[in-house]
Amino acid sequence: MVFLISPDSFRMTCFIVGLTGGIGSGKTTVSNAFKALGVTIIDADEISHQLTRKNHPTLKLISEAFGTEYVRDGQLDRNKMRKLVFSNPAKKMLLESILHPLIKGEMDNRAKECIDPYCIFSIPLLIEGGTPRARVDRILVIDAEEELRRQWIKKRSGLTDYDIDAIFASQISQEQRLAVADDILINDSTVDLLTSKVKQLHSKYLQLARKIKQ
């Protein structure tokens, strides 16, 4: 997701780690592992879903911009909208222009309330914004082979290869993400192994957060 923010806006809050990765890479599993360690997770997708839940005021803005066929009986037709935005870049930008300022504002508020040594911003499209360093102190990229990601996406959502190809095409390459990563977590084995890697990163981030406060 594209978020632009002044580099100094979060200096009075906790140390912020930006967690990102392509669809199906395992971001939710990693977020849950950090959460189990007591880390505050501020998830852009979760906030997006809250903003588009049934009868939320945001749906009126979406209906006005896209038409009533995308919002019926107070509910967003997520499948219809997904197919539209992943096949039409202009419509994707239109939806982002509505949602992203609201998501950004909510994430900002939650970060300001965080009293932990560090928190995690889970933002799937963090790098696409072009200024990720203005948003977070450190970037963690979850890396997984494309075929594994494809299998996990199908199992989780039932999307077709055509739908998955469209989503992959709409996102930057994993190479571009890795090029700006401070930390890389490779997801190619079991959840237990992934959790063990998260624990190591947790210790590392606690140390970094303490140094920032000194």
Per residue in 13-50, pLDDT (tens digit) is 689 999 999 999 999 999 999 999 999 999 999 999 99
pLDDT at 3: 37
Lowest-pLDDT choice from 4-18, 73-87, 127-141:
4-18
Task: Give pTM, 2 decimals.
Answer: 0.85
pLDDT at 169: 86
CB 127 within 8 Å of CB 121: no
Q: What is the CATH number of domain 15-50+106-213?
A: 3.40.50.300
Q: Quote the CA–CA distance of 112 and 94 in Å, as a whole number.
A: 28
What pLDDT is stored for residue 212 in this prediction? Answer: 78
Q: What is the average pLDDT across 149-175?
A: 88
pLDDT for the residue numbered 7: 38
DSSP string, 39-70: -EEEEHHHHHHHHTSTT-THHHHHHHHH-GGG
**pLDDT (mean) for 124-149:** 87
Mean pLDDT, all residues of the chain: 89
Residue tagged 């190591």 (tokens):
200
Indicate whether 178 pLDDT > 60: yes
State the pLDDT at residue 214.
Answer: 62
Per-residue pLDDT, averaged over 99-114, amounts to 90
- The number of CA neighbours under 13 Å toward the Cβ of 85 is 18
| Pairing status of strand 138-143 against strand 75-76 | unpaired
119/214: higher pLDDT: 119
DSSP at 132: G
Q: What is the mean pLDDT of residues 167-175?
A: 86
